[in-house]
Structure 1
């Protein structure tokens, strides 16, 4: 496992290594040689452990029945059954590592001990518990699907129980935080902040970054937000525009007409696919130390709307969800003001009169 030194890099100590199950080349950069040496030693230990698992997998291949599908075949057929392209792509990404290790094993020979070994390896490689459990959850779902459709006569993962992970979604930006961000953000990020907070659009190329000026009708105060590929029956949904955002849109429309730009969210006339660097720069300049993601603007829309007594079904339709339960389960965040109101909602118990 070679370590090379590249003087011109910010982190000049480079450790190069290969995944034992796939042979894919990997590398990791470090600022200090000592850090690189520690990582190299840890990788060497993991390599030996993973090679042992691979050998055990190969030894047990003969236990499988000729007609039984392999793990890779079950996972591949399960992915083909998923109708949502986004879900299929995300699931394929998470299944790749598991398939690299256990893919050639007969599916019915997979054991809970194999699962435990995989989760242990994920932890040693620094993968979060939530991500590791998500990956195994997809494998479990694939096995349940295969068992339900008769592809597997027995589900060897029927007894698999995964720990429930606490949600890691940060609280959405408050109105004050949004104003602080807007004041210091780059122009294209300012547009994302305003439209994300006001429309609840998905922040990214699936929706908001696809929005064109032909989708915006400032006269009727509505826009046609492109729907993400998540099984929506229509290509776009109508979103009413509030007066303060409408004024901003009219100003931006004039600016972009002079540039001949067709995109509402753009950087110097070019379409945008990511605002990660500009977003973190804005957080730093605004003095906001806590974690806030661009996608949390969508959460902020739902929370603020419901806090001010908006109709739940209308909020779901504006955000592109057919099931309003999704809004309450994933997007609704309670504010400190709302929690205080809940505490004071019931009348006093009168305990102070007893003393």
Structure 2
């Protein structure tokens, strides 16, 4: 780390040094009469640099000692999964990685190649797996490999250059008011609650939010509930959601029923908490005579679209749904309806081209 003098500067004594953690160059200037101070600073920085670099070297040696020799793909992915704090994310990743691990899990992690990934994607396509789902699965593997290099489990990432296409998400239109009534009429009691609360509050349908809702979170006297926030970086554990009058009447009735059972959860099946409604949902679609694809999560989309269609403020809709970024609502949750599309078609005046056509 040199100390040198530049006479033309207001503070001519210059010390150049590097930060030990980032290795970025830094410069500090001292006045004309501060040569000794500059040299003392240079010595202190040199000493600090060596001590901190030794800490870094020790950490690398510990990581190398902890990393098993010739780590397998299964070991690497399991270690990565252990770092995920959200149980829902871990469960989803575990599901998506099953086939990849069954094929490549026994292989040495550093031996996986781009050709292996291409073969896996081809296999997924032949099994009828959607392109979006297949890319998501490979994306999890790529993220795990990046993490492994960062933490010293691998010296080189064999998937560093992997590029995945971003297929257009195939999000179905949310249920219309008529479809929601058809579903509600044929649904089991616990699913009726999911439909009503999902359409009226925009809650995330699943264990991240709605299935965690307890009666202690619902205040029917002041018509408000505290919806648990999903683990997506929200600053608060829950958000306050006002209750509309039609939902409030149903909640008061359900609250009485559950008080007699001693059940603390708003969404439950015969007094037991609910983790998944996939089978019940598909059975309800079939009984309702709805053949098109509708997901439980589309109830959340329906809330956003219907609210905005009827003049709700975008910021309020975002806050109710637990989104800090209003653009997310417009980009992912806002759906148009046939009436709005017809209005858009007829918004511009006619060009009068039909006047030159012969009448039938």
Whether the TM-score (by the shorter chain) exceeds 0.5 is yes
Per the alignment, in what secondary structure is the counterpart of residue 89 of structure 1?
helix
* Contact preservation (8 Å) 1:84, 1:231: no
Query: Cα gap change, 1:329/1:87 in structure 2, threshold over 3 Å: closer, same or farther?
Result: farther
In structure 2, the partner of 1:325 is 327
In the other structure, the counterpart of 2:283 is 281
Instruction: Give 1:244-255 correspondences, 5 Å limit.
Output: 244-255=246-257
- Gap regions ≥5 residues in structure 2: 1-67
- Per-residue CA deviation, residues 312-337 of structure 1 (Å, 9 max, x unaligned), is 23222212222333323332222112
Asked if the contact 1:203/1:298 (under 8 Å) is kept, the reply is yes
Q: CA deviation at 1:174?
A: 0.3
TM-score scaled to structure 1, two decimals? 0.71
- Paired residues of 1:299 and 1:332 also in contact (CA < 8 A): yes
Partner-residue secondary structure (3-state), 2:103? helix
Deviations along 1:269-293, one digit per CA (max 9) or x if unpaired, are 3333333343333323322222222
- Change in Cα spacing, 1:98 to 1:267, as seen in structure 2 (3 Å) is closer
Q: What's the counterpart of residue 131 of structure 1? A: 133
Shift of 1:108: 4.3
Q: Following TM superposition, by how much is the alpha carbon of 1:111 offset from its aligned partner in structure 2, in angstroms?
A: 2.0
Q: 1:274 to 1:146 in 2, by over 3 A?
A: closer
**In 1: Cα distance, 2:269 partner to 2:97 partner:** 35
SS in 2 for 1:224: strand
1:135-167 Cα offsets, whole Å, 9 max, x none, are 112222334455567765654334433343332
Is 1:75 matched with 2:82? no
Per-residue Cα deviation, 1:211-262 (whole angstroms, up to 9, x for no partner): 2222111121100112223333322111111111112222222333334333
Are residues 1:223 and 2:204 paired?
no
Distance 1:73 1:206 in 2: 28
CA gap 1:150/1:328 in 2 versus in 1, 3 angstroms: farther
- Other structure's SS at 2:172 match: coil
Once residues 150 and 272 of structure 1 are traced to their aligned partners in structure 2, the CA distance between those partners, rounded to angstroms, is: 40
Partner of residue 301 from structure 2, selected from 280, 290, 299: 299
The answer to whether the 8 A contact 1:182-1:193 is kept is yes
Q: 5+ residue gaps in structure 1? A: 1-65
CA contact (8 A) 2:81 2:90 kept: yes
CA–CA distance in 2 between the matches of 1:278 and 1:110? 40
Contact 2:195 2:299 in 1 (8 A): yes
Corresponding pairs, count: 290
Q: CA–CA distance in 2 between the matches of 1:281 and 1:97? A: 28
What SS is found at the alignment partner of 1:255?
Answer: helix
Q: SS where residue 311 of structure 2 aligns?
A: coil
Q: 1:152-209: CA deviations, max 9, x gaps? A: 5654334433343332332211001111122222222222111110011122233222
SS in 2 for 1:237: strand
Give per-residue Cα distances to partners, 1:108-134, cap 9 Å, x unaligned.
443221112222333444544332221
Q: In 2 relative to 1, CA 122–289 (structure 1 residues): closer, same or farther, beyond 3 Å?
A: closer
Q: Is 1:314 paired with 2:316?
A: yes
Are the equivalent residues in 1 in contact too, given 2:132–2:169 (CA < 8 A)? no
Q: Secondary structure at the match of 1:162?
A: coil
Q: What's the secondary structure of 2:120's corresponding residue?
A: helix
**Contact 2:88-2:208 at 8 Å conserved across structures:** no
After TM superposition, the structure 1 stretch with the greater mean CA deviation from structure 2, 310-319 or 145-154, is 145-154
CA distance in 2, matches of 1:339, 1:150: 54
Alignment of 1:1-355 (within 5 A): 70-72=72-74, 74-103=76-105, 105-146=107-148, 154-353=156-355
Supply the distance in 2 between the matched residues of 1:282 and 1:265 (Cα, whole angstroms).
17
In 1, Cα distance between the equivalents of 2:74 and 2:270?
45
What is the CA–CA distance in structure 1 between the aligned matches of 2:120 and 2:105, rounded to whole Å? 13
Please give the alpha-carbon distance, in whole angstroms, between the structure 1 residues aligned to 2:176 and 2:258. Answer: 29
Cα gap change, 1:254 to 1:120, in 2 (>3 Å): same
Instruction: Tell me how far apart the structure 1 counterparts of residues 278 and 89 of structure 2 sit (CA, whole Å).
Output: 22
**Higher-Rg member (1/2):** 2
